[in-house]
Amino acid sequence: MNKLSNSFVNNILLFTLLLLPSLVAIECFATDQDATNRQLTREDIQQIVESAKQIEEADLDVLKELDADTAQVVAASRGKLFLNGLTELTPEVAEILATHRGWLHLGGLRSISTVVARALSKHQGWLFLNGIQVLKKDVAIAILPYRGQLYLDGVETITEDVAEIIAQRRDGVELYGVRNINYQSVAMLRKNSEIILPSKFNRAGWWPF
Protein backbone atom coordinates (compact mmCIF):
# COMPACT_ATOMS: atom_id res chain seq x y z
CA MET A 1 0.00 0.00 0.00
CA ASN A 2 2.84 2.38 0.87
CA LYS A 3 4.58 1.57 -2.40
CA LEU A 4 1.43 2.42 -4.32
CA SER A 5 1.05 5.67 -2.40
CA ASN A 6 4.67 6.63 -2.99
CA SER A 7 4.31 5.83 -6.67
CA PHE A 8 1.19 7.98 -6.93
CA VAL A 9 2.88 10.91 -5.17
CA ASN A 10 5.95 10.59 -7.39
CA ASN A 11 3.78 10.66 -10.50
CA ILE A 12 2.00 13.78 -9.30
CA LEU A 13 5.31 15.51 -8.60
CA LEU A 14 6.67 14.51 -12.00
CA PHE A 15 3.54 15.78 -13.75
CA THR A 16 3.75 19.07 -11.86
CA LEU A 17 7.40 19.55 -12.76
CA LEU A 18 6.66 18.88 -16.43
CA LEU A 19 3.70 21.28 -16.43
CA LEU A 20 5.43 24.10 -14.53
CA PRO A 21 7.46 25.52 -17.48
CA SER A 22 4.28 25.75 -19.57
CA LEU A 23 2.43 27.60 -16.84
CA VAL A 24 5.32 30.02 -16.39
CA ALA A 25 5.47 30.59 -20.15
CA ILE A 26 1.74 31.31 -20.33
CA GLU A 27 1.94 33.73 -17.40
CA CYS A 28 4.93 35.53 -18.92
CA PHE A 29 3.15 35.80 -22.26
CA ALA A 30 0.04 37.26 -20.61
CA THR A 31 2.20 39.71 -18.67
CA ASP A 32 4.05 40.72 -21.81
CA GLN A 33 0.77 41.23 -23.66
CA ASP A 34 -0.62 43.34 -20.82
CA ALA A 35 2.54 45.42 -20.71
CA THR A 36 2.41 45.88 -24.48
CA ASN A 37 -1.19 47.08 -24.24
CA ARG A 38 -0.28 49.63 -21.61
CA GLN A 39 2.81 50.89 -23.42
CA LEU A 40 1.46 51.88 -26.81
CA THR A 41 3.71 54.57 -28.24
CA ARG A 42 2.43 57.66 -29.96
CA GLU A 43 3.60 56.12 -33.23
CA ASP A 44 1.50 53.01 -32.50
CA ILE A 45 -1.54 55.17 -31.84
CA GLN A 46 -0.89 57.20 -34.98
CA GLN A 47 -0.81 53.96 -36.97
CA ILE A 48 -4.10 52.80 -35.42
CA VAL A 49 -5.73 56.13 -36.26
CA GLU A 50 -4.42 56.01 -39.83
CA SER A 51 -5.60 52.42 -40.29
CA ALA A 52 -9.03 53.35 -38.95
CA LYS A 53 -9.64 56.04 -41.56
CA GLN A 54 -11.14 53.62 -44.05
CA ILE A 55 -13.81 52.36 -41.64
CA GLU A 56 -13.99 55.58 -39.59
CA GLU A 57 -13.65 53.68 -36.33
CA ALA A 58 -10.66 53.82 -33.96
CA ASP A 59 -10.70 51.38 -31.05
CA LEU A 60 -8.32 52.69 -28.41
CA ASP A 61 -10.02 51.24 -25.34
CA VAL A 62 -6.63 49.81 -24.35
CA LEU A 63 -5.41 53.27 -23.36
CA LYS A 64 -5.58 53.85 -19.61
CA GLU A 65 -4.27 57.41 -19.70
CA LEU A 66 -3.95 60.13 -22.30
CA ASP A 67 -1.63 63.12 -22.38
CA ALA A 68 -2.22 66.26 -24.41
CA ASP A 69 0.22 65.41 -27.22
CA THR A 70 -1.26 61.95 -27.74
CA ALA A 71 -4.77 63.38 -27.50
CA GLN A 72 -3.95 65.59 -30.50
CA VAL A 73 -3.21 62.46 -32.54
CA VAL A 74 -6.33 60.67 -31.33
CA ALA A 75 -8.65 63.63 -31.87
CA ALA A 76 -7.58 63.85 -35.51
CA SER A 77 -9.56 60.68 -36.24
CA ARG A 78 -13.07 60.83 -37.63
CA GLY A 79 -16.06 58.63 -36.98
CA LYS A 80 -16.29 56.35 -33.95
CA LEU A 81 -13.58 56.87 -31.34
CA PHE A 82 -13.47 54.41 -28.44
CA LEU A 83 -11.61 55.56 -25.33
CA ASN A 84 -13.50 53.57 -22.70
CA GLY A 85 -10.29 52.63 -20.90
CA LEU A 86 -9.82 56.18 -19.60
CA THR A 87 -10.97 56.63 -16.02
CA GLU A 88 -10.09 60.32 -15.72
CA LEU A 89 -9.72 63.29 -18.01
CA THR A 90 -7.88 66.55 -17.53
CA PRO A 91 -9.51 69.77 -18.77
CA GLU A 92 -6.70 70.18 -21.32
CA VAL A 93 -7.24 66.72 -22.80
CA ALA A 94 -11.01 67.21 -22.75
CA GLU A 95 -10.61 70.41 -24.77
CA ILE A 96 -8.55 68.52 -27.35
CA LEU A 97 -10.92 65.56 -27.57
CA ALA A 98 -13.79 68.00 -28.09
CA THR A 99 -12.29 68.79 -31.49
CA HIS A 100 -12.98 65.22 -32.60
CA ARG A 101 -15.78 64.85 -35.13
CA GLY A 102 -17.94 61.77 -34.72
CA TRP A 103 -18.85 59.40 -31.89
CA LEU A 104 -16.81 59.90 -28.76
CA HIS A 105 -17.01 56.98 -26.30
CA LEU A 106 -15.78 57.77 -22.77
CA GLY A 107 -17.59 55.06 -20.83
CA GLY A 108 -14.78 54.59 -18.32
CA LEU A 109 -15.36 57.97 -16.68
CA ARG A 110 -17.30 57.55 -13.44
CA SER A 111 -17.52 61.28 -12.87
CA ILE A 112 -16.38 64.50 -14.51
CA SER A 113 -15.68 67.99 -13.23
CA THR A 114 -17.58 71.05 -14.38
CA VAL A 115 -14.50 72.21 -16.30
CA VAL A 116 -14.26 68.90 -18.18
CA ALA A 117 -18.02 68.92 -18.82
CA ARG A 118 -17.79 72.44 -20.23
CA ALA A 119 -14.94 71.39 -22.51
CA LEU A 120 -16.79 68.29 -23.76
CA SER A 121 -19.87 70.40 -24.45
CA LYS A 122 -17.97 71.78 -27.46
CA HIS A 123 -17.76 68.35 -29.07
CA GLN A 124 -19.51 67.94 -32.43
CA GLY A 125 -20.99 64.48 -32.72
CA TRP A 126 -22.46 61.90 -30.36
CA LEU A 127 -21.09 61.82 -26.83
CA PHE A 128 -21.17 58.63 -24.75
CA LEU A 129 -20.71 59.11 -21.00
CA ASN A 130 -22.42 55.93 -19.86
CA GLY A 131 -20.05 55.37 -16.93
CA ILE A 132 -21.40 58.33 -14.96
CA GLN A 133 -23.85 57.14 -12.29
CA VAL A 134 -24.63 60.42 -10.54
CA LEU A 135 -25.22 63.57 -12.55
CA LYS A 136 -24.53 66.60 -10.39
CA LYS A 137 -26.34 69.89 -10.94
CA ASP A 138 -23.21 71.89 -11.78
CA VAL A 139 -22.09 69.25 -14.31
CA ALA A 140 -25.56 69.21 -15.90
CA ILE A 141 -25.39 72.98 -16.29
CA ALA A 142 -21.87 72.84 -17.72
CA ILE A 143 -22.73 70.27 -20.39
CA LEU A 144 -26.11 71.82 -21.28
CA PRO A 145 -24.78 73.78 -24.32
CA TYR A 146 -23.61 70.53 -25.97
CA ARG A 147 -25.29 70.21 -29.38
CA GLY A 148 -25.50 66.51 -30.10
CA GLN A 149 -26.90 63.22 -28.88
CA LEU A 150 -25.85 62.73 -25.25
CA TYR A 151 -25.75 59.23 -23.76
CA LEU A 152 -25.99 59.00 -19.98
CA ASP A 153 -27.32 55.46 -19.61
CA GLY A 154 -25.33 54.86 -16.41
CA VAL A 155 -27.07 57.63 -14.47
CA GLU A 156 -29.37 56.01 -11.90
CA THR A 157 -30.60 59.02 -9.93
CA ILE A 158 -32.12 62.22 -11.27
CA THR A 159 -33.07 64.95 -8.81
CA GLU A 160 -35.68 67.61 -9.57
CA ASP A 161 -33.14 70.39 -10.06
CA VAL A 162 -31.11 68.24 -12.48
CA ALA A 163 -34.27 67.19 -14.34
CA GLU A 164 -35.20 70.83 -14.80
CA ILE A 165 -31.80 71.52 -16.36
CA ILE A 166 -31.79 68.48 -18.66
CA ALA A 167 -35.33 69.25 -19.81
CA GLN A 168 -34.00 72.48 -21.35
CA ARG A 169 -31.78 70.64 -23.83
CA ARG A 170 -32.61 71.03 -27.50
CA ASP A 171 -30.84 67.85 -28.49
CA GLY A 172 -31.32 64.24 -27.43
CA VAL A 173 -30.45 62.71 -24.08
CA GLU A 174 -30.60 58.98 -23.43
CA LEU A 175 -31.25 58.00 -19.80
CA TYR A 176 -32.08 54.30 -19.93
CA GLY A 177 -30.44 53.60 -16.58
CA VAL A 178 -32.58 55.90 -14.43
CA ARG A 179 -34.05 54.12 -11.39
CA ASN A 180 -34.43 56.78 -8.71
CA ILE A 181 -36.61 59.65 -9.83
CA ASN A 182 -39.86 61.22 -8.61
CA TYR A 183 -43.04 61.92 -10.55
CA GLN A 184 -42.41 65.64 -10.88
CA SER A 185 -39.01 65.04 -12.47
CA VAL A 186 -40.42 62.48 -14.91
CA ALA A 187 -43.17 64.90 -15.85
CA MET A 188 -40.61 67.62 -16.61
CA LEU A 189 -38.46 65.30 -18.73
CA ARG A 190 -41.40 63.86 -20.65
CA LYS A 191 -42.28 67.33 -21.92
CA ASN A 192 -39.08 67.17 -23.98
CA SER A 193 -39.54 64.64 -26.79
CA GLU A 194 -35.76 64.44 -27.28
CA ILE A 195 -35.22 62.82 -23.87
CA ILE A 196 -35.39 59.02 -23.66
CA LEU A 197 -36.33 57.41 -20.35
CA PRO A 198 -36.88 53.74 -19.44
CA SER A 199 -40.15 52.51 -20.95
CA LYS A 200 -41.72 51.89 -17.53
CA PHE A 201 -42.07 55.64 -17.05
CA ASN A 202 -44.37 55.76 -20.06
CA ARG A 203 -46.86 53.26 -18.62
CA ALA A 204 -50.01 54.64 -17.07
CA GLY A 205 -49.77 52.24 -14.12
CA TRP A 206 -46.60 53.93 -12.92
CA TRP A 207 -48.35 57.25 -12.37
CA PRO A 208 -50.33 57.91 -9.15
CA PHE A 209 -52.74 60.29 -10.86
| Spatial CA neighbour of 117 closest among 99, 108, 130, 129 | 129
Per-10-residue mean pLDDT, the chain, length 209: 53 51 42 48 76 78 92 91 96 97 96 97 96 95 95 96 94 94 92 92 66
Which alpha helices (DSSP H) does the chain contain, by range? 2-38, 42-51, 68-75, 91-97, 114-120, 137-143, 160-166, 183-190
Q: Strands 57-59 and 195-196: what pairing?
A: unpaired
DSSP letters along 84-106, please?
TT-----HHHHHHHTT-EEEEE-
CA dist 53 and 62 (Å) reads 19
Instruction: Go through the chain and tell me how many residues it has.
Output: 209
CA dist 124 and 121 (Å) reads 8
Residue 181's pLDDT is what?
Answer: 92
Domain locations in the chain as residue ranges = 1-39, 41-206
The architecture of the domain spanning 41-206 is Alpha-Beta Horseshoe (3.80)
Residue 43's pLDDT is what?
Answer: 77
